[in-house]
Structure 1
Amino acid sequence: MMNKGRVVVFGATGNLGAYTALQLKSNGFDVIAVGGRNSDNGFFSELGIEYYSIDICDSNSFAKLPQKEIDAVVHFAGELPSRYEYNPRKLIDSIVQGTLNVLEYIRLTGANKIVFPQTPFDVWYRHNTQTLIEADDQRSFPLTGDHSIYTIAKNTAVDLIEHYHHTFGISRFILRFFTIYQYHPNPYHYAEGTRKMMPYRILIERAMKGEDIEVWGNPSLTKEIVYIKDFTHLVNLCISSNSKGGIYNVGGKRVSLEEQIQGIIEVFSPQDHPSQKKYLPEKPNALLAGFNTNKTEKELGYKPRYSYIEAMADFYKEMQNEPFAKLWGVKEDYLE
């Protein structure tokens, strides 16, 4: 396969980065994987991908990386409030300082493109309304909660990227999205500083045991469901685009809570003992939010390839096969 260009993926050992590195490699790009872990356990080298370990907050550590013939950078590195106990300084250092270091690396190496993830909390005021979120809606941030400083940091990083775009001509593709659904052996995250199992993983666990599943609030409310392999396809489209980019909403299929739970039951429950739904309308509603993806479709040619059921079926397949076991471990490693 002809080499389409050289792409550096920062955050390559993380959820989005690992899948993205493999997707780009399979599509003919020369991929360089970069992560904060000292070792990737040989995961990337087996796939013909170079792996480098750096501290994204330390500009001097970037000297380890290739310094020329870089075409694009995918920047998925940085702390997440959902993966660690709340630490505002880590969020600012890794996202703001880290992004500045990545941008300087791009400038000094002569690369001309960056792909960067943006949180949907930058348009938090559109959540739980019937108004679709537009790609270029005014950015803001929630004043309280564990996503407040995180969103401030992400907005600042986007502003830095815009500065480098206008000053140095670097094309930028800012991808705004809610949850990207994918299998990871660790089903836990942090919410307001407390370690909890992710809500959709709770539903899957109950379905696999054939236990009743509670349907809270209004079951007709919809949310964006984006599967990881649709997301990595979009990253590929960004890297291949000749445009200067912008901010893009990453939408999938807007699926109601009723459809989400029914799909989980169909895919994960035992056929001879499927879970039953128990409706609790008095409980709080799930998040209501939707994107207008016209800009993403028109400028990048993006269309989701996976239906919701197809995404869940592929999720279940990867749960059984553990394709990233060498990098992330297996589900037994995360049992409480």
Structure 2
Amino acid sequence: MKTVMVIGATGTLGTYFVDHLHEKGYNVWAVGRRNVNERYYSERGIKSVKVDITNKEDFKQLPDSGIDSVVLIAGAMPSRMIGYDPQKYIDVNVKGTLNVLEYCRNSNVQQLLFTQSHSDVAGYWNTGEYIKPDAPRKLVLKGDHAVYIITKNAAVDLIEHYHRDHGLRTFIFRLPTIYNYRPIFDMYVNGKSVPMGYRFFIQKAINSEPIEIWGDPNRAKDIVYVKDFNQMLNRAIDSDLDKGFYNVATGKPITLEDQIRGVVDVFSPEDKQSEIIYRPNKPSQNSYLYDITNAKKELGYQPEYSYREMLWNMKEEMKGSRFDHLKDLDVTI
């Protein structure tokens, strides 16, 4: 079985993916800048280490051979940034990625998987067009995501360079919001804390509170579950391909009305469901649609969770203890 190193292992996606790999029988290294509960991982047979990817010296703690695949999920992102520090994007997303690439080259790692933001194609949103994996970049160079996506694109270009010059097998995954359950409810917009949209609606439904649908209720977007994210990355790890660029998505848009009605049906008490209130004069949600044809053809990927199946599974996740090993270490996960 392959040995896979997950860098960013204690973030939300990293936590889910480490669990997934462990359950599938892979040899796993869990690497994170903080929140690394060494005892927890050791008891499960998972090797772990704290590494700040911006510090090249930290990589000396990692093995210099025997790693088949590195999955780089770690990164600075607007939704987890208090205030605004553009230098952090440069340090983590560019310098950090370069350090990881150098580690791969020096340690004879054969394969790198990297998570890219879908903001690289934000200029195609709200057009009703399905965005292909190889669509030319179309950035919005204004707002709190601008420097972030500039640095993520720079990281993608560095990865391509290492593929061409050093033969590293590279896989890039373009991520919209990956829906999941985690025990925190906030995110940051322009450096200020705000409730996470879908978690806000779920909590209102649980409390039987009214939920407002803003703008056009038929505005649709692609909604993908973390466990389908896991599946796609897993298939890439097992692939013999030299490279790939994939949209992490379902290929099936869900309207805002269907989103809210699903949340109410799944999370509201049967005897006291949330009232749905329409606010057509409010701004509509962004719409984005993604083509996953190449992921199906090249990786054999097929989304396993419909929107409603995702919600039911999230409800079950809320009863679990997936994040308990992080609780006493740091609330920012």
TM-score by length of 1: 0.95
| CA drift at 1:18 | 1.1
Aligned mates of 1:17, 1:24 — CA distance in 2: 10
Aligned mates of 1:38, 1:199 — CA distance in 2: 25
Aligned mates of 1:97, 1:232 — CA distance in 2: 26
* Counterpart for residue 271 of structure 1: 270
Aligned mates of 2:64, 2:22 — CA distance in 1: 20
User: Is residue 296 of structure 2 the alignment partner of residue 322 of structure 1?
Assistant: no
* Counterpart for residue 119 of structure 1: 117
* Counterpart for residue 17 of structure 1: 14
Give the secondary-structure state (helix, strand or coil) at the position aligned to 1:57: coil
- Report the residue type matching 1:170 in the other structure: L
Is the alpha carbon distance of 1:184 and 1:272 closer, same or farther for their aligned partners in structure 2, counting shifts above 3 Å? same
TM-score by length of 2: 0.96
Q: Decide which moves more: 236-245 or 132-141.
A: 132-141
Aligned mates of 1:42, 1:180 — CA distance in 2: 29
* Counterpart for residue 242 of structure 1: 240
Cα shift readout 1:184-243 (whole Å, capped 9, x = no counterpart): 111100011110111111111110110111011111111111111110111100100000
- Report the residue type matching 1:139 in the other structure: R
Query: Is this contact kept in 2: 1:43–1:327, CA < 8 A?
Result: no
**Number of equivalent positions:** 329
* Counterpart for residue 28 of structure 1: 25
* Counterpart for residue 143 of structure 2: 145
Aligned mates of 1:23, 1:318 — CA distance in 2: 14
* Counterpart for residue 195 of structure 1: 193
User: Is residue 292 of structure 2 the alignment partner of residue 293 of structure 1?
Assistant: yes
Aligned mates of 2:205, 2:196 — CA distance in 1: 14
* Counterpart for residue 65 of structure 2: 68
Give the secondary-structure state (helix, strand or coil) at the position aligned to 2:259: helix
User: Is residue 172 of structure 2 the alignment partner of residue 174 of structure 1?
Assistant: yes
Aligned mates of 2:195, 2:32 — CA distance in 1: 25
Is the alpha carbon distance of 1:19 and 1:93 closer, same or farther for their aligned partners in structure 2, counting shifts above 3 Å? same
Aligned mates of 1:240, 1:39 — CA distance in 2: 26
Query: Is this contact kept in 2: 1:117–1:175, CA < 8 A?
Result: yes
Give the secondary-structure state (helix, strand or coil) at the position aligned to 1:174: strand
| CA drift at 1:178 | 0.6
Is the alpha carbon distance of 1:241 and 1:262 closer, same or farther for their aligned partners in structure 2, counting shifts above 3 Å? same
Aligned mates of 1:51, 1:38 — CA distance in 2: 11
* Counterpart for residue 159 of structure 1: 157
User: Is residue 47 of structure 2 the alignment partner of residue 50 of structure 1?
Assistant: yes
Give the secondary-structure state (helix, strand or coil) at the position aligned to 1:42: helix
Query: Is this contact kept in 1: 2:10–2:35, CA < 8 A?
Result: no
* Counterpart for residue 109 of structure 1: 107
Query: Is this contact kept in 1: 2:124–2:138, CA < 8 A?
Result: no
Identity %: 43
Aligned mates of 1:255, 1:45 — CA distance in 2: 41
| CA drift at 1:38 | 6.0
- Structure 1 stretches of 5 or more lacking a match? none
| CA drift at 1:130 | 1.1
Query: Is this contact kept in 2: 1:41–1:326, CA < 8 A?
Result: no
Give the secondary-structure state (helix, strand or coil) at the position aligned to 2:119: helix
Aligned mates of 1:9, 1:199 — CA distance in 2: 27
* Counterpart for residue 255 of structure 1: 254
Give the secondary-structure state (helix, strand or coil) at the position aligned to 2:319: helix
* Counterpart for residue 133 of structure 1: 131
Aligned mates of 1:46, 1:270 — CA distance in 2: 39
| CA drift at 1:329 | 6.0
- Report the residue type matching 1:261 in the other structure: I
Aligned mates of 1:156, 1:46 — CA distance in 2: 38
Give the secondary-structure state (helix, strand or coil) at the position aligned to 2:270: coil
Query: Is this contact kept in 2: 1:118–1:174, CA < 8 A?
Result: yes
| CA drift at 1:127 | 0.8
| CA drift at 1:137 | 0.9
Query: Is this contact kept in 2: 1:269–1:275, CA < 8 A?
Result: yes
Query: Is this contact kept in 1: 2:213–2:277, CA < 8 A?
Result: yes
Q: CA RMSD in A?
A: 1.5
Q: Decide which moves more: 143-152 or 131-140.
A: 131-140
Query: Is this contact kept in 2: 1:41–1:327, CA < 8 A?
Result: no
| CA drift at 1:39 | 3.6
- Structure 2 stretches of 5 or more lacking a match? none
